[in-house]
Amino acid sequence: MAQATSPAYRCGVLTLSDKGSRGEREDTSGPMLQEMLRAQGFSIALAQIIPDQQALIEKTLIDWVDEQQLDLIVTTGGTGVAPSDQTPEATRAVIEREVPGLAEAMRMASLEKTIQAVWSRGIAGIRKNCLILNLPGSKKAAKENLEAVLPALTHGLYKLQGGRQDCENII
């Protein structure tokens, strides 16, 4: 029996950008990701731009999971190799389990477009019942990465929230 309806999972989109947080650069990836998620039936509960600082990212992720009780957090930015890129480290510090298949799928999809995808260090992981996905900061790369895993998210979130139907019976 197929799952009757897909719940509107509560999501947050967190943009990590030193310049964006100071108003020196427009955030184009965050709003685009919000629209992509809304188009798939997700509810955007929170969206914020903060500097790419590990302690601040950790604090925000913990708050969004533990206090705001989001089901999905998508970060954009801070996944490269620049000295200021701290998103994977912050995410790894707060998650309880990694989900390497999601990060691998995103990198594979990006590699089909550009060899520069080898530099992406984004991870995916779980804290409590929330999935946290790290996407690149560029609008184009963030879109490609989310498109790579978006079809799998509803199923994964369903299972993460305690869904009991067998995998083959879930839409």
In the numeric block, the tokens 């790579």 are attached to 148
Q: Which domain holds residue 125?
A: 10-162
- Kindly state whether residue 139 falls inside one of the protein's structural domains: yes
Q: How far apart, in whole angstroms, are the C-alpha atoms of residue 139 and residue 147?
A: 12
Which CATH number goes with the domain that contains 57?
Answer: 3.40.980.10
- Kindly state whether residue 25 falls inside one of the protein's structural domains: yes
Whether the per-residue pLDDT at 103 is higher than 80: the answer is yes
The pTM of this model reads 0.92
Q: How far apart, in whole angstroms, are the C-alpha atoms of residue 164 and residue 22?
A: 45
- Give the number of domains in the chain: 1
Question: How far is residue 98 from each of residues 103, 109, 114, 116, 124, measured CA to CA in Å?
Answer: 9, 19, 25, 23, 6
SS3 content of the chain, % helix, strand, coil (to 5): 45, 20, 35
Please write the tens of the pLDDT for every residue from 67-78. Answer: 999 999 999 999
- Kindly state whether residue 167 falls inside one of the protein's structural domains: no
3-class DSSP state of 73: strand
- Kindly state whether residue 169 falls inside one of the protein's structural domains: no
